[in-house]
Amino acid sequence: MTMTTAEPSTPTKPVRRTQEQRTADTRAALFAAAVQTIDRLGYAGANNASIADEAGVSRGAITHHFTTRAAFMAEVVHWVFEQETRIFRELMEQAHTGSRVADWPALLWDVFSRPSGVAVMEILVASRSDPELAALVLPMQAEVERTGAANFLQTIGGKQLDMSAIRLVVWAVRGMTMGRTFIGDPQGMENAVALFSRLIDQAVPSGRFEDMAKL
């Protein structure tokens, strides 16, 4: 019987990324690294070099892609918001939750207590003593709040936007994520979040956002 030798296959050439793709990948790596570094070292400790090292890119990458450190941090806030929006949707789909206002403290805690949520709070607090940072971050945060409120209203089927009610829930939970750092019982803060949910449930038994806004 005659044996035939298979022809060696031609190796597939790797697909070359475009310059735009390489830039987008580098920026995303820097944003993710900024979140991890700020969460670990605090805003003041997260200098450009430590962020670049965390991202595995050259130490000049931040100044190459962003005009100033403040501009970079403002973009970090925007990037985190986009990530959080995606995570919220995934959590609601997986757990079938979010239609009642009492669901939201736990949902917000799940997202805001991650390194990304802590990093945003660090950046916002730092903007109080940095006019250049404040000039870029505060308008970005205002845009995030408007868009987030509209998404929230659409999710729960609300018809009337009441920023007071939304801010109560959002900033109470954001504050608790920071407070967790300063207490010796992290589980105790999660218990506080659960208590907050129960208080909302008792105050708004219908679960409807409009009824909470009437309180």
Q: Identify the band that residue 7 occupies on the pLDDT scale cut at 50, 70 and 90.
A: low
Residue 5, φ and ψ in degrees, nearest 5: -100, 125
pTM of the model: 0.84
Which comes out higher in pLDDT, residue 9 or 71? 71
Name the nearest CA neighbour of 117 among 163, 189, 180: 180
Structure-token pair, residue 64: 């190459």
The backbone torsions φ and ψ at residue 98, rounded to the nearest 5 degrees and listed phi first, read 110, -5
Per-residue burial over 53-88, b if 16 or more Cβ lie within 10 Å, else e, is ebbebeeebbeeebeebbbbbbbbbebbbebbeeeb
> What residue segments make up the domains of the chain, in order of their start?
20-65, 69-213
Question: Rounded to the nearest 5 degrees, what angle is found at the Cα of 152, between the Cα atoms of 210 and 103?
Answer: 75
Given this model, what pLDDT does residue 77 score? 94
Residue with tokens 């987030």: 148
Residues 6+ apart with CB under 8 A from 69: 48, 62, 133
Predicted pLDDT of residue 137: 93
Mean pLDDT on 18-28: 88
Give Cα separations from 102 to 42, 98, 111, 142, 187 (angstroms): 32, 8, 16, 24, 20
Q: Domain 20-65 - what CATH class?
A: mainly alpha
Could you report the per-residue pLDDT of 56-89, keeping only the tens digit for each? 999 999 999 999 999 999 999 999 999 999 999 8
| Better-predicted residue by pLDDT, 208 or 172 | 172
